[in-house]
A and B are shown apart, each in its own frame.
Chain A
């Protein structure tokens, strides 16, 4: 009898753990490092994995660098081979925590919040503080959306002098994750 109670409780606790995770495999992450009047330097990644633990607000995202698609095929090749070095560093990851996250406080109307965490790209980890974003709970999905800026030079990416004036050191990054209950 004790054993059955234990198994039953174990199952309940298992399902409780399972319910606290929201995730997506098709989150989008765009970046742009364009300089006005030169060709746009922008790429889009639509297969970012993101997981949010709704019990404590812990958030993790993983973008595969090769999944960034540029309009210009040659630019994509150069990005992969010379700048991001995606053979050596195939992943970009973010691990962090949403400030003051409470699942019960979410609503269908957009609220603003912020996240702290560390971003790893090109083998370099950088701490990011107070990235502001919007959060809402609509149709059973938690939607996180926002943007932030990073510097190319923070990630030990060398830009050859010849293209330095066509490429901004400041990179705008937009993200949008629609997390569904796992």
Chain B
């Protein structure tokens, strides 16, 4: 009887330990596989942020979003769309792209840069 109790206790302890470990060392969000909550042209989100930053932040901060527009600047790790949305990639961009290409990018909204008046996204991926 006591042996049985010890075994049950040990099993509960192991299960708790596994859950605890998975909670503490949980994975980061994977923006690439998340479905975008919003999809809009860069001009629209930039206007929303420049007109009312507080409500735009409440609506978009930390959300996965798809933004479309024309590339205005391209570097190894980032693309700027229409000078209005700055999209940072976690890895080097391997797709061959040029300025003035039309593009749609998915990423996480991290906020509004009021020095440059651009919306910033990170963990971006190219949709098309």
Contact = CB atoms under 8 A, between A and B. Distances in A.
A64 B116 contact: no
Nearest to A68: B110
Given A47-B122, A49-B115, A51-B115, A64 B28 contact: no
A105 B76 CA distance: 31
Contacts of B32: none
B35 interface: no
Interface stretch (A70-78, A120-128, A137-145, A153-161): A70-78
A26 B88 CA distance: 9
Interface of B: 23-29, 57-58, 61-62, 75, 77-78, 80, 86, 88, 108, 110-116, 118, 120, 122
Interface residues of A, number: 22
B117 to A, nearest CB: 11
B26 A64 contact: no
B110 A25 contact: no
Contacts, number: 65
Contact of A87 (B28, B61, B120): B61
Interface of A: 23, 25-26, 46-47, 49, 51, 60, 62, 64-67, 72-74, 76, 80, 86-87, 90-91
Given A64-B120, A67-B120, A90-B57, A49 B111 contact: no
A25 B116 contact: yes
Given A47-B88, A74-B23, A91 B116 contact: no
Nearest to A70: B28
